[in-house]
Chains A and B, each alone.
Chain A
Amino acid sequence: EAQVTQNPRYLITVTGKKLTVTCSQNMNHEYMSWYRQDPGLGLRQIYYSMNVEVTDKGDVPEGYKVSRKEKRNFPLILESPSPNQTSLYFCASSLGSGNTIYFGEGSWLTVV
């Protein structure tokens, strides 16, 4: 079954404590990206990757890092989380620019 899997799905953490949200896809997709969803703002792209070792900033990259060492994985790293990073995060992947984008189920992150 085609899947984008994110972990953890729910996390409460404290300001400044580094955390990583993992994302894995089993469809051999080249494109992967991270979005955050906030009320009234829709989904905003954080980072995207067009292939292994190729990443670039989206609309709201500040405070986040990513890496793409393998095609299937695209972890999102918050080196020093702050309360304004409390949000719902989605990982997504697609084969190409016109192809369907598959979303993970989302990760609820609360930073206190």
Chain B
Amino acid sequence: AQSVTQLGSHVSVSEGALVLLRCNYSSSVPPYLFWYVQYPNQGLQLLLKYTTGATLVKGINGFEAEFKKSETSFHLTKPSAHMSDAAEYFCAVRRATGSARQLTFGSGTQLTVLP
């Protein structure tokens, strides 16, 4: 079984400050890891993903995340927050091998950017 824990259901940062959204996962097999963003009244958009290879992955809108196997973490960061980053962010894990289940999502983190 796989699971995802997002620490902090709400995070507030000032515009220009570092954004750090935390995600820890559990998986019995090598995982694929994803971050999705959901803007108000919209569907989910892929920010970035880790499948294999380089553990630091860069995504859209200046976001990046680092896969740390020893810590079972995949935290999302952005050096400087922008007002347009205000949204809900979801971390997700997926089995890398075999068939069966698709994504398991975390419960989400609502990011507020303060002027």
Instruction: Give the residues in chain A near B94, CB-CB below 8 Å.
Output: 97-98
* Minimum Cβ distance to chain B for residue A77 (Å): 19
Task: Give A43's nearest chain B residue, CB to CB.
Answer: B105
Q: Are B46 and A101 in contact (CB under 8 A)?
A: yes
Q: Are A105 and B102 in contact (CB under 8 A)?
A: no
A75 part of interface (Cβ distance < 8 Å)? no
- Asked whether B77 is an interface residue with its Cβ less than 8 Å from the other chain, the reply is no
Establish whether residues B99 and A50, one from each chain, have CB atoms under 8 Å apart when the complex forms: yes
Q: A105-B43, A106-B43 are in contact. Are A45 and B49 (CB under 8 A)?
A: no
Q: Is the interface of A mostly helix, strand, loop or mixed?
A: strand
- Asked, given contacts A97-B32, A97-B95, whether A90 binds B106 with beta carbons under 8 Å apart, the answer is no
List which B3-36 residues lie within 8 A (CB) of chain A.
Answer: 6, 9, 32, 34, 36
Instruction: Report the minimum CB–CB distance from B101 to chain A (whole Å).
Output: 7
Q: Among B43, B49, B95, which residue has its beta carbon within 8 angstroms of that of A90?
A: B43
Q: With A103-B44, A104-B43, A106-B43 known to touch, is A98 a contact of B51 (CB < 8 Å)?
A: yes
19 additional contacts (CB under 8 A) given A56-B100, A100-B49? A31-B102, A42-B6, A42-B90, A42-B106, A42-B107, A42-B108, A43-B92, A43-B105, A45-B102, A45-B103, A48-B101, A50-B99, A50-B100, A97-B96, A97-B97, A101-B103, A103-B36, A103-B44, A104-B43
